[in-house]
């Protein structure tokens, strides 16, 4: 069977001409490339090697083509059509299907309304100097903390970002980049303005201010946060972040300073009259400063948007996409891992340190070295020591254990990074000659020491700075200790919780099928804090919370691992199936064949061995 000779694609061979030499064809092509159109046609017609093929003449030149101007507005509208044209549902349809989310939103709004009503009622009975000072300065502290968080988020994410696909083909094209980015910058500033204004209004309402003062606080917090976002955008055009970092630390120090003033006035360490405190009308100066910063920095940033490096845009976009994926799975631990990885990549390297000790002592010493190398992890725990004093100064002494344990939950999570790695990476834990409870106990030793120091430092807050709230100082210390234990165990629950398993049967909800563990990710850590501090809120004896804390610690130690028990049960079932259905009458009735007896291996005697020696 003969095969047809494959011809070059796009050319037709003349049957009357013989096969031509390839070198002659290459020579003809070189002659064509070096001549004009007329000479090329002549060379193609005279060369016998070229006459074999019907080669169409090239009549176009990419060099002579004039580039057409690109309209950024049309390009943006085309991208919008691509994205929206392939959507199967609108936002209205999604919200209509999510009746569970609507019910949850109504429930949250009702709870906030009840809290605002109680706050307004409590403000009417706030007649002491300490209570008035605390309720007046608390919004200033919260506003400084909100500004600090806004500066931090703007510095980490952008605020102007682009996805990896856009950075690959769109930002590398010869277009005016500022025409594409100004909408994103303006949209981000407006979103920050709206969210910060809502937070300011809610904060003023919970503190007990009237309607006009609530509007002032909303405008001040919104304009201030928008101005900081514009400042971060301006700094992004110069590819620097030191200015916004300095502003972030100054705002954080201001927030901590306001907390100290509230505690000092409540404890009687500082005498501060009410006329000396800035009123709600003075917050309008913050709004004016934020507005000026917004206009000035926003104008500069808009004029320099085309100078932002593509790598900086894509870096922020990749971070946003990773955070969106983690938020879709409701895995807040993964969101923190992404931020930690980003910060570690920015630092680049660290100085290696030699460890000490053996066994579990080596792991404990390593955790101490990690804190010495990166002491910023202790900052949140140190700041959380002011929270019980501030809560007691505001008069919410009954809710002090619950609120303080939630703040400790946030503070202890950065200190338990090694435990999260060991629980997520089981192969790494198997390389250590220790059991899982021993590893977790070693990883939690250093945070437990800080929890004990926190309990000692916060005992006066639970005892009462102006009037004692407990019958003895020992009971106050035990309450403080149980609060610290609740925060530590809640953080351990947060870092050691498993991610959602999508291989198990799904649960039907208003948003579709979801794995059962996905909803539990929202309340992990908080459930432990409520479980331990709940009896204290109800006025039960302290030993009830102590027993619950011991049980929770035993469960979180990893000694009772449901996954390991299931794996052992599966292995036992496989062994039974391999041995013939498990033996016994069940195996005989089922018709399974009995397992073959194991044969012993015979070992040859050594050389020169002639048998056992007999004694005469």
Q: How far apart are CA 314 and CA 172, in angstroms?
A: 11
Same-domain pairing of 149 and 225: yes
Same-domain pairing of 315 and 396: no
* DSSP per position, 71-112: -HHHHHHHHHHHHHHT-SS-HHHHHHH-HHHHHHHHHHHHHH
Same-domain pairing of 121 and 47: no
Among residues 482, 442, 436, which one has the least CA distance to residue 458?
482
Q: How far apart are CA 175 and CA 27, in angstroms?
A: 41
What pLDDT is attached to residue 232?
A: 92
Neighbours of 104 (CB within 10 A): 11
What pLDDT is attached to residue 105?
A: 65
| pLDDT of 48 over the 60 cut | no
Same-domain pairing of 268 and 415: no
Same-domain pairing of 289 and 418: no
Same-domain pairing of 150 and 40: no
pTM: 0.69
Question: What average pLDDT does the chain have?
Answer: 76
**Cβ-based neighbours of 213, under 8 Å, separated by 6 or more:** 204, 280
How many structural domains are present in the chain? 4
Note whether residue 564 is domain-resident. yes
Note whether residue 346 is domain-resident. no
Q: Are 160 and 230 in contact (CB under 8 A)?
A: no
| pLDDT of 593 over the 60 cut | no
Q: How far apart are CA 276 and CA 274, in angstroms?
A: 5
What is the Cβ-side half-sphere exposure of residue 307, based on CA atoms within 13 angstroms? 13
pLDDT cut 70: percent of the chain above it? 69
What pLDDT is attached to residue 591?
A: 47
**Choice between 174 and 58, residue whose per-residue pLDDT is larger:** 174
List, in sequence order, every residue forming a beta bridge with 507; answer none if it has no partner: 514
Q: How far apart are CA 557 and CA 514, in angstroms?
A: 29
Which of 41-55, 292-306, 481-495, 602-616 bottoms out in mean pLDDT, i.e. has the lowest?
41-55
Same-domain pairing of 121 and 35: no
Note whether residue 83 is domain-resident. no
pLDDT tens digits along 419-471: 888 887 777 877 888 888 888 888 889 999 999 999 999 998 888 766 677 77
What is the Cβ-side half-sphere exposure of residue 451, based on CA atoms within 13 angstroms? 30
Same-domain pairing of 428 and 374: yes
Q: Residue 231: pLDDT band by 50, 70, 90 thresholds?
A: very high
Note whether residue 371 is domain-resident. yes
Q: Residue 10: pLDDT band by 50, 70, 90 thresholds?
A: very low
Torsion over CA of 56, 62, 67 and 68, rounded to 10 degrees? 10
Same-domain pairing of 141 and 121: no
**Choice between 601 and 462, residue whose per-residue pLDDT is larger:** 462
Q: Residue 62: pLDDT band by 50, 70, 90 thresholds?
A: low
pLDDT tens digits along 363-401: 888 888 888 888 888 888 888 888 888 888 777 778 888
Same-domain pairing of 119 and 237: no
Neighbours of 492 (CB within 10 A): 28
What pLDDT is attached to residue 220?
A: 92
Query: What are the tokens at 87?
Result: 């959507």
* Residue-number span of the structural domain to which 392 is assigned: 359-568
Domain boundary (289, 307, 328) is at: 328
């Amino acid at each position: 069977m003969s095969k047809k000779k494959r011809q070059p694609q796009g050319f037709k061979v003349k049957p009357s001409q013989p096969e031509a030499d390839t070198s002659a064809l290459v020579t003809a092509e070189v002659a064509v490339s070096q001549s004009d159109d007329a000479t090329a046609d002549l060379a193609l017609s005279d060369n016998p090697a070229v006459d074999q093929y019907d080669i169409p003449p090239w009549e176009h030149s990419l060099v002579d083509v004039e580039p057409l101007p690109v309209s950024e507005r049309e390009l943006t509208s085309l991208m919008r059509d691509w994205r929206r044209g392939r959507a199967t549902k609108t936002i209205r349809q999604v919200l209509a299907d999510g009746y569970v989310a609507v019910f949850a939103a109504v429930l949250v709004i009702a709870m906030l309304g009840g809290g605002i009503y109680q706050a307004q009622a409590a403000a009417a009975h706030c007649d002491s100097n300490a209570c008035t000072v605390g309720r007046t300065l608390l919004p200033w502290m919260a506003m400084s903390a909100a500004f600090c968080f806004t500066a931090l988020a703007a510095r980490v994410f952008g605020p102007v970002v682009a996805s990896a696909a856009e950075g690959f083909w769109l930002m590398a094209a010869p277009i005016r980049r500022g025409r594409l980015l100004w909408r994103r910058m303006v949209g981000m500033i407006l979103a920050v303005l709206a969210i910060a204004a809502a937070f300011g209004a809610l904060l003023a309402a919970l503190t007990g201010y009237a309607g006009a003062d609530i509007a002032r606080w909303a405008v001040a917090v919104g304009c201030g946060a928008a101005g900081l976002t514009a400042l971060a955008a301006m700094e992004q055009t110069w590819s620097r972040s030191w200015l916004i970092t300095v502003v972030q630390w100054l705002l954080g120090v201001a927030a901590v300073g306001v907390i100290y003033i509230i505690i000092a006035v409540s404890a009687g360490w500082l005498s501060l009259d009410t006329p000396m405190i800035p009123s709600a009308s003075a917050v309008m100066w913050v709004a004016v400063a934020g507005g000026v910063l917004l206009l000035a920095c926003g104008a500069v940033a808009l004029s320099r948007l085309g100078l932002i490096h593509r790598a900086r845009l894509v870096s922020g976009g990749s971070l946003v996409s990773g955070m969106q994926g983690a938020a879709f799975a409701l895995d807040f631990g993964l969101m923190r891992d992404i931020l930690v990885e980003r910060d570690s990549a920015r630092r680049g390297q660290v100085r290696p340190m030699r460890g000490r000790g053996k066994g579990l002592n080596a792991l404990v010493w390593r955790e101490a070295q990690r804190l010495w190398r990166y002491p910023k992890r202790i900052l949140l725990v140190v700041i959380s020591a002011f929270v019980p004093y501030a809560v007691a100064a505001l008069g919410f002494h009954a809710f002090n254990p619950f609120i303080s344990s939630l703040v400790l939950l946030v503070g202890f999570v950065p200190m338990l990074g090694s435990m999260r790695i060991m629980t997520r990476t089981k192969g790494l834990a198997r390389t250590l000659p220790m059991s899982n409870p021993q590893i977790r106990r070693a990883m939690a030793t250093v945070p437990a020491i800080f929890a004990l120091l926190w309990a000692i430092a916060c005992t006066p807050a639970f005892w009462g700075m102006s009037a004692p709230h407990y019958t003895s100082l020992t009971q106050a210390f035990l309450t403080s200790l149980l609060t610290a234990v609740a925060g530590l165990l809640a953080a351990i629950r947060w870092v050691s919780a498993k991610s959602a398993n999508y291989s198990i049967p799904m649960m039907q909800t208003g948003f579709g099928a979801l794995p059962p563990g996905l909803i539990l990710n929202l309340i992990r850590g908080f459930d432990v804090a409520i479980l331990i501090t709940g009896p204290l809120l109800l006025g039960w004896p302290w030993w009830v919370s102590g027993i619950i804390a011991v049980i929770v610690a035993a469960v979180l130690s990893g000694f009772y691992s449901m996954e390991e028990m299931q794996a052992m049960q599966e292995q036992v079932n496989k062994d039974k199936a391999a041995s013939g259905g498990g033996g016994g009458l069940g195996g005989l009735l089922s018709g399974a064949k009995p397992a073959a007896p194991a044969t012993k291996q015979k070992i040859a005697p050594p050389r020169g061995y002639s048998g056992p020696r007999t004694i005469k």
